């Protein structure tokens, strides 16, 4: 059994698409994979959330949402606004551990970033990862500001003794600018190693077979893919642009 926690440098960086890509590759290998969303915020009951996107893209049906709050806020603030108790991360860790006993892989997708609060006691996704003794995959933006956000998140992980599973760019633009191309040079220095992947922006609009091919091209061998960080960096230099097709042409 294996548990992998997926977080990001913030909201909207592509965590759900990366989680779906990880799930799609695990499914393509014949593995039993489950995806857990500890807390979904910003949606009313019955509305399709992040797990619905995972189901659509990865054709995975073993999905588990542990709490839902309608406010588009942090899980702690959303629970308070709704007048409901916050998610108990101890219970969440037990739930994930039980799932993992009967699965090859359990993916846990957080809300927002690593230190977004789940409860008034200061509980965060970092604490859940510690309880699970699980490595953390960090999803980042491609452009301006990502170097600082990446460095801060990695520093917070190191202080808590969390293992880094890799860093993935959640949405690489079709026509990257100077900041994006320059970041490919600087990110490995901040990470202390190569990128573990980069998924093309807009890839959430494809069918599951196409998405699995994109996932394979966009994630490193550690996750069952074929992404080569050095080759990717060479394709996008500060002196020119190359359109990213995720290896499909």
What letters, b where the CB count within 10 A reaches 16 and e where it falls short, cover 57-67? bbbbebbbbbb
> What does each C-alpha distance from 191 to 28, 132, 182, 196 come to in angstroms?
29, 23, 15, 10
Q: 75: exposed, middle or buried (C-beta count within 10 Å: 0-12, 13-18, 19+)?
A: buried
Q: Which residues pair with 3 in a beta bridge?
A: 106
Q: Is 15 a catalytic site residue?
A: no
Q: Could you tell me where the DSSP H helices lie in the chain?
A: 15-28, 50-58, 75-82, 89-100, 125-132, 146-159, 178-191, 208-218, 229-235
Active-site residue identified among 37, 55, 68, 216: 37
State the CB neighbour count (10 A cutoff) for residue 200.
22
CA pair distance 169, 8, nearest whole angstrom = 10
Nearest partner of 185 among 113, 125, 234, 247, judged by Cα = 234
Alpha carbons 4 and 139: distance in angstroms, whole number: 13
Active-site residues, by number, are: 37
């Amino acid at each position: 059994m294996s548990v992998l926690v997926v977080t990001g440098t913030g909201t909207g960086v592509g965590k759900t698409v990366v989680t779906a890509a990880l799930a799609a590759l695990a499914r393509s290998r014949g593995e039993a994979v489950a995806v857990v969303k500890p807390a979904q915020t910003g949606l009313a009951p019955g509305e399709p959330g992040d797990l619905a996107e995972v189901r659509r893209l990865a054709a995975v049906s073993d999905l588990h949402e542990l709490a839902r709050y309608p406010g588009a806020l942090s899980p702690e603030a959303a629970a308070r606004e709704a007048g409901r108790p916050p998610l108990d991360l101890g219970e969440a860790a037990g739930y994930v551990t039980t799932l993992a006993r009967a699965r090859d892989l359990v993916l846990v997708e957080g809300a927002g970033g690593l230190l977004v609060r789940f409860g008034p006691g200061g509980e965060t996704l970092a604490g859940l990862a510690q309880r699970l003794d699980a490595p953390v995959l960090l999803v980042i933006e491609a452009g301006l500001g990502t170097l600082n956000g990446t460095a801060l998140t990695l520093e917070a992980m190191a202080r808590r003794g969390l293992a880094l599973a890799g860093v993935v760019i959640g949405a690489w633009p079709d026509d990257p600018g100077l900041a994006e191309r320059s970041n490919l040079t600087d990110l490995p220095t901040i990470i202390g190693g190569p990128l573990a992947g980069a998924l093309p922006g807009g890839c959430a609009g494809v069918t599951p077979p196409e998405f699995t091919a994109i996932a394979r091209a966009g994630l490193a061998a550690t996750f069952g893919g074929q992404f080569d960080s050095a080759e990717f960096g060479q394709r996008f230099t500060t002196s020119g642009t190359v359109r990213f097709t995720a290896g499909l042409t």
